[in-house]
A and B are shown apart, each in its own frame.
Chain A
Amino acid sequence: MPQISPDSIDPKVVEAMVLQGIPHCAALGVRVIEVRSSHVTLSLPYNADLVGDPVSGILHGGAVTSLIDSVAGMAVFAALFAAQQKLQAIATLDLRIDYLKPALAQKELYATAECYKLTRSIAFARGRAYHPETPDDLVANCVGTFMIGSSDKPPLPKDAKVPGVKP
């Protein structure tokens, strides 16, 4: 079960956003590991379909990009919720990722992100990807910016049933 801190968004809401609101995350088998107001951790289980180099068996950078974009977005939602107690649509403006070392074959990949600055229109996030047993030996490092209120449609599907939250 994902851990929770008192002032943070309900991990069930984050799970609903990840698994119902982001079909690509569902297709990748992404799991929610931890949700706090300041940061979120997601996991990408190893999946042979995501190998980018059949010689080495390492993950394609694109799979890492999807995990990091997702976790950075969730960190922004968590920060927005902690600040405003509501959900707003966001859109990625840019994402800069350094691929520090290849993701090892047949290992689960974690990504943790925090939203470290929230303004009226823009959210700034940073994140990192790593194998859970070696959290200091980073696979990737990332900074990204997000536009807040990019549309009038919040990120949950209309029919999502999430206790305590109106999408």
Chain B
Amino acid sequence: MSVDFEKLIAEARAQRNFSPFLAAVPYFRFLGLTVKPGETDGELICVLPADPKLIGNARLPALHGGVVGALLESAAIVQLIWSADADRIPKIIDLQVDYLRSARPVETFARAIITKHGRRVANVRAEAWQDDPARPVAAAHAHFLLAP
């Protein structure tokens, strides 16, 4: 299992194709997460589909804040795997999410920037948006453990 998964991570990085990697992680399948190239070289955009099971407020309606947090964390993980020479999924240490606007239950995007890539710890910022990247619905700041 672990050898296969390392291979999927290596393939995702080499071919810039995250589909087999995302398909191997149950939670990414649960979210329906996909990855597409961003506008700049090396930038990846995570795409969360519109799905009624991701709604956190049925009355508004709005996406669940935890799902928005999960999307931001996932964008950071995908960007770290793509940018770093890691053969396993980085472990999250902490996450701070600022909720800037109510996120409607529509397709939502996220990208991450690695602010500092240390030997053991990475510092990442991530943003999520819906129609307009200039109007983010949430922004996050997180640390990940790269090596035990």
> By the criterion of a CB under 8 Å from any partner CB, how many residues of chain A are at the interface?
47
Q: How far is the CA of A55 from the CA of B79 in the complex (A)?
A: 20
* Per-residue B-contact encoding for A39-83, CB less than 8 Å = 1, 0 else: 000000000111111110001111101111110010000000000
| Contact partners of B94 in chain A: CB under 8 A | 96-99
Pair B1/A69 contact, Cβ less than 8 Å? no
Q: How far is the CA of A157 from the CA of B58 in the complex (A)?
A: 6
Pair B5/A54 contact, Cβ less than 8 Å? yes
Pair A102/B91 contact, Cβ less than 8 Å? yes
Pair A94/B99 contact, Cβ less than 8 Å? yes
- The A interface is mostly helix, strand or loop, or mixed, namely mixed
Pair B25/A65 contact, Cβ less than 8 Å? no
Partner of A67, one of B28, B66, B93: B66
Partner of A53, one of B57, B69, B88, B99: B88
| Contact partners of A23 in chain B: CB under 8 A | 52-56, 58
Q: How far is the CA of A93 from the CA of B54 in the complex (A)?
A: 19
Partner of A60, one of B60, B70, B97: B70
| Contact partners of B25 in chain A: CB under 8 A | 51-54, 60
Query: Residue on B with the closest CB to A23?
Result: B55
Partner of A21, one of B59, B73, B99: B59
Pair A24/B54 contact, Cβ less than 8 Å? yes
Partner of B67, one of A55, A62, A155: A62
| Contact partners of B56 in chain A: CB under 8 A | 22-25, 69-70
21 cross-chain CB contacts under 8 A: A22-B56, A23-B53, A24-B56, A50-B26, A50-B30, A52-B25, A53-B25, A54-B1, A54-B5, A54-B24, A60-B28, A61-B73, A62-B27, A62-B31, A62-B67, A69-B69, A92-B97, A94-B96, A97-B94, A98-B93, A153-B59
Known: A63-B27, A155-B57. 11 other contacts (CB 8 A): A49-B27, A55-B2, A61-B73, A62-B73, A65-B73, A66-B65, A66-B69, A89-B57, A97-B95, A153-B59, A158-B59
Could you tell me which A residues sit within 8 Å of B by CB distance?
20-27, 48-55, 59-63, 65-70, 73, 89, 91-99, 102, 150-151, 153-158
